[in-house]
Chain A
Amino acid sequence: MNDDAELLARIRNGATDDFAGIVRRHQARVFSILHRYERDTHKVEDLAQETFVKAWRALDQFDGRAPFEHWLSKITVRVALDHLRREKRRQNEIGLPELGEDALDWLRSDGEKNELDARSAAELLDLAMRELSPLDRVVITMQEMEGRSVKEIGEATGASGVAVRVRALRARGKLRRALEKLMKDENEQTQAEPTV
């Protein structure tokens, strides 16, 4: 953390190139957060760049009271939220063809099949989460995937503690319904296929 402070002090004194040090120290975390909201690697890279440029522009507003990592995480979440809002406008209906065979098997099994690799689980969740509003998605992702506290989620999203709890509860309900819909669609599709 002290290294961050030293680097930031140098950057504030005009050593722009030292910002590369900040980027290298925090890029893995930024990519990891953004990947929860966007599965396309190229888009994740663009969003990560947008995050660091925004952090650079707002560097004077960082007062050092909280660790730099927390401040940067907040900017990352805001970038992800803006991205989800933009994507929501041009998003298609939830559909099955994007899912891999593993995820489809898991859906069909209705509780019996337990083997599901991390990638398939993430694909399935990503598809179901398209049914949520961008803010609901951020809240449930931060809570369930990143293990953040209600306070941290509130700080990152600008929502109150009560609003975060309500949104998380509502998002879980919507997610379950979206997954049930996927299951139903998949079962219908399987039954409709002609048997050889």
Chain B
Amino acid sequence: MNKHRLNQLFERARNEPAPLPPEDFAADVLRAIRREPRAAAPEAFSMLDQLNLLFPRIALAAATVIVLCVVVDWGLTAAGMPGLGDGLSQISAQWLLTPDESLL
């Protein structure tokens, strides 16, 4: 089967007339669509959908903050100053985890 013969087949087949629609075809379609309501407009996004949509941005922002903290910590350590970790330990020791003296 060479290229010419295949093209010849396409050319001949192209001339085949398509079947004609029946006269009452449009009425049949109308009957069918009366049973099929049009697609409703999409519902408003729920809170969960909005969070899902925002998730990539939130993840990117979180990753940026983490990278920024690591860089600052590395910079402070290199400059001989106490790093972010030290500062956080100090804060937690002084403010967050202060022993409740009334219990002692």
Chain A interface (Cβ within 8 Å of chain B)? 16-17, 19-21, 23-24, 27-28, 31-32, 35, 41, 44-45, 48-49, 52-53, 56-60, 111, 114, 116-122, 124-125, 144-145, 172, 175-177, 179-180, 183
Residues of B within 8 A of A124 (CB): 9, 13
Distance (whole angstroms) from the CB of A168 to the closest CB of chain B: 12
Given A44-B19, A57-B36, A58-B39, verify A118-B25 contact (CB < 8 Å).
no
Stretch from B26-34, B52-60, B62-70, B88-96 that touches the partner = B26-34
Q: Are A48 and B15 in contact (CB under 8 A)?
A: no
Residues of B within 8 A of A23 (CB): 25-26, 29-30
* Contact between chains at B1 and A179 (CB < 8 Å): yes
B residues in contact with A21, CB < 8 Å: 26
Interface centre among B13, B22, B25, B33 (most CB of A within 10 A): B13
When the two chains form the complex, which single residue of B3, B8, B21, B38 contacts A56, counting CB atoms closer than 8 Å?
Answer: B38
Contact A52 B21 (CB under 8 A): no
Whether A19 touches B18, Cβ cut-off 8 Å, given contacts A48-B25, A57-B38, A175-B6, is no
Overall SS of chain A's interface: helix
Interface band, chain B: 20 to 34
Q: How far is the CB of B69 from chain A (nearest CB, A)?
A: 42
Give bound CA distance, A41 to B72, whole Å: 74
CB proximity of B45 to chain A, nearest CB, Å:
18
Q: How far is the CA of A24 from the CA of B27 in the complex (A)?
A: 10
Q: Are B39 and A28 in contact (CB under 8 A)?
A: no
Complex: chain A residue closest to B28, CB-CB? A49
- Chain A residue with the shortest CB-CB distance to B36: A53
Q: Are B9 and A121 in contact (CB under 8 A)?
A: yes
CA distance A114 to B12 in the complex (A): 10
User: Do A118 and B13 have beta carbons less than 8 Å apart?
Assistant: yes
- Decide if A111 touches B21 in the complex (CB within 8 Å): no
Contact A116 B33 (CB under 8 A): no
For the complex formed, measure the closest distance between the CB of B31 and the CB atoms of chain A, giving whole angstroms: 10
